């Protein structure tokens, strides 16, 4: 534990007095300070000036990170017949219908992304209370309710990230691993921010992006200048 304390102290010292950085500066600092024995995820958190309790201020979307997430994404697909076979051929980890619904209802959720064909939504709909809070509920707005299950599976496996604003007005996501080159992490951060900006809802009033922070799984966070984060 002493070694962990020293690493944490060193990281905090490196971050001391630094804030409102450029994306490039923040990525370099977070990547350089990461010291865990595993490949930490680089995480972004964006505080938005919205109240998601109002439908016209809900923020959600999907973005294909240009350099992937570095994460092995397990994909479940609700489909039958030919579409089930198509999903399996595309690399889906779990494919099923009522049997998969029963598995999830039983408390086993061994996947990171859930896709469904439109005809399966009456079945999947019964899992709203289970999948909804985990941001796993298939939704046509983010391409997870679709007849093109093969393409959806490939996108999910290839670095596509879904985001949805939480009650406190925060959107967060993993945008790569500390082992990524700095340039690739910068590209991913900018791609994610671009998608959040495009998802600005009609009901948003005042400042849309209030704060942007970057961190690694075990490290402290640093703020990125809102102007820098919002630049095209």
Query: In whole angstroms, what is the distance from residue 65 CA to residue 174 CA?
Result: 10
Residue 148 and residue 41 share a domain: no
Q: How does pLDDT run across 146-186, given as a tens digit for each residue? A: 999 999 999 999 889 999 999 899 999 999 999 999 999 99
pTM comes to: 0.83
Handedness of CA 141, 145, 147, 151 (dihedral sign): positive
Say how far apart CA 5 and CA 158 lie, in whole Å: 36
Any domain includes 5: no
Into how many domains does the chain fold? 2
In this predicted structure, the answer to whether residue 2 has a pLDDT above a threshold of 60 is no
Residue 103 domain-assigned? yes
For residue 11, is it within any domain? no
pLDDT at 232: 62
pLDDT category at 10 given cuts 50, 70, 90 is low
Question: Domain ends where: 135, 158, 181?
Answer: 158
More confident residue, 9 or 125: 125
The better pLDDT of the pair 6, 28 is held by: 28
Pairing of strands 94-96, 75-78: parallel
pLDDT of residue 9: 66
Q: What per-residue confidence (pLDDT) applies to 15?
A: 79
29: domain CATH number is: 3.30.190.20
158, 183, 200 — which closes off a domain? 158
């Amino acid at each position: 534990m002493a070694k962990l304390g020293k690493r944490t102290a060193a990281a905090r010292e490196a971050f001391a007095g630094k804030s409102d950085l450029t994306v490039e500066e923040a990525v370099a600092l977070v990547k350089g300070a990461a010291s865990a024995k595993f490949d930490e995820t680089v995480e972004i958190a964006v505080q938005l000036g919205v109240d998601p309790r109002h439908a016209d201020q809900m923020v959600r979307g999907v973005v294909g990170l240009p350099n992937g997430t570095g994460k092995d994404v397990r994909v479940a697909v609700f489909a039958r017949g030919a579409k089930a076979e198509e999903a399996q051929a595309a690399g889906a980890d779990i494919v099923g219908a009522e049997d998969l619904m029963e598995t999830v209802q039983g408390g086993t959720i061994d996947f990171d992304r859930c896709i469904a064909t439109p005809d399966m939504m009456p079945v999947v709909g019964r899992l709203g209370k289970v999948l909804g809070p985990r941001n796993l509920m298939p939704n046509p707005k983010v391409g997870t309710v679709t007849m093109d299950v093969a393409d959806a599976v490939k996108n999910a496996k290839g670095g596509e990230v879904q985001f949805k604003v939480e009650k406190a007005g925060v959107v967060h996501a993993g945008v790569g691993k500390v082992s990524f080159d700095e340039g690739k992490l910068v590209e991913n951060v900018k791609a994610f921010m671009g998608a959040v900006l495009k998802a600005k809802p009609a009901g948003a009033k005042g400042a849309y992006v209030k704060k942007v922070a970057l961190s690694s799984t075990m490290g402290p966070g640093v703020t990125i200048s809102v102007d820098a984060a919002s630049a095209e």
